[in-house]
A and B are shown apart, each in its own frame.
Chain A
Amino acid sequence: GIQVEQSPPDLILQEGANSTLRCNFSDSVNNLQWFHQNPWGQLINLFYIPSGTKQNGRLSATTVATERYSLLYISSSQTTDSGVYFCAVIPSWGKLQFGAGTQVVVTP
């Protein structure tokens, strides 16, 4: 099946810092999404981004489908950004497949 690799696995940030999370995938995909899982377990959709660049407030994402990777940028991080960030892809033949996630901790 398709491999979805996220890096880094863990990230500790001081409030106000910027960071980049990466997602590599091993095959062509129809869709890519970034999710944030909050401490209560809910998966919040951040971006639906099969290609190109999108921005939403302090967050932005870029997917380069031809090179099979996506980046999630967090700028001016806040403690509420803490949680696990998941990249998930839909290959042409299957259903949503998740990466292992990046655990982000933002300290005051």
Chain B
Amino acid sequence: DVKVTQSSRYLVKRTGEKVFLECVQDMDHENMFWYRQDPGLGLRLIYFSYDVKMKEKGDIPEGYSVSREKKERFSLILESASTNQTSMYLCASTEGDYGYTFGSGTRLTVV
């Protein structure tokens, strides 16, 4: 089975801090994604990547950037964390349009 690992389950950061959320998949998938999930707003796509060093904006990229230096790793970066970025962050990977596999999620609180 594909495994998608997110480095932290819970994070608490201060406003203005630079925050890195890490995601690693073990199945050599081309495509990786970052979503955030908020009550009442559902899951929304932040960024995705089709290949190493390639990235595409999703529906809500403002305030975020990403890095994909290696195929298995996709990092989400909050350059200057703000309280409205408190959320559940979910990483996923897939090959083509086949089944998406999600990591266990990171609950980020910005204080």
- A positions within 8 Å CB-CB of B: 30-31, 33, 35, 40-45, 48, 86, 88, 90, 95-96, 98-101
Residue of chain B at shortest CB distance from A41? B105
Binds A, one of B21-29, B74-82, B94-102: B94-102
Partner of A88 from the list B98, B100, B104, B105 (CB cut-off 8 Å) is: B100
Given contacts A95-B33, A96-B33, contact A45 B100 (CB under 8 A): yes
Q: How far is the CB of B2 from chain A (nearest CB, A)?
A: 9
Are the C-beta atoms of A33 and B42 separated by less than 8 Å?
no
For the complex of A and B, 7 pairs with smallest distance between CB atoms? A48-B99, A43-B102, A41-B105, A42-B104, A98-B43, A30-B97, A31-B97
CB closest chain-A residue, reference B45:
A95
B104–chain A nearest beta-carbon distance, Å: 4
Chain A interface mostly helix, strand, loop or mixed? strand
Interface centre among B42, B88, B90, B100 (most CB of A within 10 A): B100
Measured between beta carbons, the chain A residues less than 8 angstroms from B42 are 98-101
> B residues within 8 A CB of A96?
33, 45, 92, 100
Residue in B33, B97, B100, B107 whose beta carbon sits within 8 Å of that of A41 in the complex: B107
Report B20 CB to chain A, min CB distance, Å: 20
Q: Roughly how many angstroms separate A42 CA and B92 CA in the complex, as a whole number?
A: 11
Contact (Cβ within 8 A) B104 A41 = yes
Q: How far apart are the CA atoms of A35 and B103 in the complex, in Å?
A: 12
C-alpha gap A41/B35 in the complex (Å)? 13
Contacts of A100 in B (CB 8 A): 42
Given A95-B33, A95-B45, A98-B43, verify A42-B105 contact (CB < 8 Å).
Answer: yes
Task: Closest B residue to A4 by CB, please name it.
Answer: B42
